[in-house]
Chain A
Amino acid sequence: DIVLTQSPDSLAVSLGERATINCKSSQSVLYSSNNRNYLAWYQQKPGQPPKLLIYRASTRESGVPDRFSGSGSGTDFTLTISNLQAEDVAVYYCQQYYDTFYTFGQGTKLEIK
């Protein structure tokens, strides 16, 4: 199975600042035939289901603010939240769909400093 390791496990960022969350895959999730990275990012607020933010590593889901951006390729990926807002407090997960044994990272808890 493909193991996704997120870092850090938790972070605290001041309002208006930038938050950076990393996701490292145990093997490449870049599909060579279409040059797409099979990685998504989700946001989960307390008591709510996860919400899709990013797919194909860098494509924002419709309706997601452009403060959220994804980058990376192969085995190393980053979710960046610019101009942090209070409503961004949540746990963030990466997920790979390169393998049909779908796996998630362990999650990164984002708080306000």
Chain B
Amino acid sequence: QLQLQESGPGLVKPSETLSLTCSVSGGSISSSNHYWGWIRQPPGKGLEWIATIHYGGNTYYNPSLRGRVTISVDSSKGQFSLQVTSVAAADTATYYCARHLGRQWFDYWGQGTLVTISS
């Protein structure tokens, strides 16, 4: 059974960089048919897609976040990562990593990690 697990700091100071990693187990991150994405959810609010990557290197970003966000993949470790620069209070959210099936729907999700932006 495929499992995804987010990891990273739960508290980040404003203007700093948020860094998260998603570890994939029970399956290969190097599948040609799968893409890997990050979605976030502010407390009490809805879902916002952030970015998607394929192990081959193709990346896709939410235009509203482009310029602050970088997604990367380390196939040798079975991990993909997210960096968000110049964070502000509005970036406080639960961050989920998920698998895209063929860059379409998200069929597997991690449990999510709450990141709070505060000094």
Contact = CB atoms under 8 A, between A and B. Distances in A.
B109 interface: yes
Contacts of A104: 46-49
B36 interface: no
A38 B104 contact: yes
Interface residues of B, number: 22
Given A50-B47, A55-B105, A101 B111 contact: no
Interface stretch (A12-20, A71-79, A92-100): A92-100
B33 to A, nearest CB: 14
Given A1-B63, A101-B63, A107-B46, A52 B104 contact: no
B106 A61 contact: no
Nearest to B106: A52
A63 B98 CA distance: 19
Nearest to A52: B107
Mostly helix, strand, loop or mixed at chain A's interface?
Answer: loop
A55 to B, nearest CB: 4
A8 B48 CA distance: 20
A40 interface: yes
Contacts of A49: 96, 98, 109-112
- Which of A40, A49, A107 has its CB near the most chain B CB atoms (within 10 A)? A49
A89 B96 CA distance: 21
B60 A61 contact: no
Contacts of A95: 47, 105-106
Given A50-B109, A95-B105, A97-B105, A102 B49 contact: yes
Nearest to B63: A101
24 contacts: A1-B63, A38-B104, A40-B105, A42-B106, A49-B98, A49-B109, A49-B112, A50-B47, A50-B109, A52-B106, A55-B101, A55-B104, A55-B107, A61-B107, A95-B47, A95-B105, A97-B103, A97-B105, A100-B60, A100-B103, A101-B60, A102-B52, A107-B46, A107-B47
